[in-house]
Amino acid sequence: MITVDLLRHGELEGGVKYRGQLDDPLTVAGRASMDTVWERIGEDVDLVISSPLSRCLQAAREWTVQHGMVCDIDSRVAEMHYGEWEGLTAEEIMTRYPGMLEQWRRDPEGVRIPGGESAMQLRDRIAEFWSDICEKYDGQHLLVVAHSGSIRMLLAHILSAPIVSTRLMQMPYGCWSRAVYRDGKSELVFHNN
């Protein structure tokens, strides 16, 4: 069995926007929300895997250094690339791309963000990531520090749910979830604890 805790990074400076690959810093409260989860589970974790983006990686590296552990960086759990939407608020996207955001929120498979990654591309890299860690880390407890988009897609994959289900999952900053893989089956233990 493998236990995988999933932690979304905390609140970011600059408010809510579609950042994708942009890397704004965490607020003090955002980092504190991540540290709170680490304090609860850090002693049980064997390995931390982080997105390469600093809003995830900075905390992950600091925790692992303090505990003498390994922090693996895996670009497959990075946030979805939002192309021309990167750095824009929802209101800015709706003004510049009328109707597109609303359609993407209803059915991400039916929309390709200009210059961005498709929902299917995100699904494929997340599915590959999950398969790899389930094969490689049997008997271990992992913490994956990632993003709203990548974690939602991973949860959909674990649940064998359609991509559109990612739009129905609440994923606040600092969201903590847990999944396990045992006997060839993936299970969600809890979400947004």
Hey, where are the domains in the chain? 2-82+118-190
Question: From CA 103, how far away is CA 122, in angstroms rounded?
Answer: 18
Can you list the alpha helix ranges (DSSP code H) found in the chain? 28-41, 54-67, 90-96, 100-106, 119-136, 148-158
Question: From CA 126, how far away is CA 145, in angstroms rounded?
Answer: 13
Question: From CA 19, how far away is CA 14, in angstroms rounded?
Answer: 10
CATH (one of 3.30.420.40, 3.40.50.1240, 3.40.50.300, 3.40.640.10) for 2-82+118-190: 3.40.50.1240
pLDDT recorded at residue 58: 98
pLDDT tens across the length of the chain (193 residues): 999 999 999 999 999 999 999 999 999 999 999 999 999 999 999 999 999 999 999 999 999 999 999 899 999 999 999 999 999 999 999 999 999 999 999 989 988 999 999 999 999 999 999 999 999 999 999 999 999 999 999 999 999 999 999 999 999 999 999 999 999 999 999 999 8
* Single-letter amino acid, residue 36: T
Question: From CA 176, how far away is CA 193, in angstroms rounded?
Answer: 6
Is this prediction's pTM over 0.75?
yes
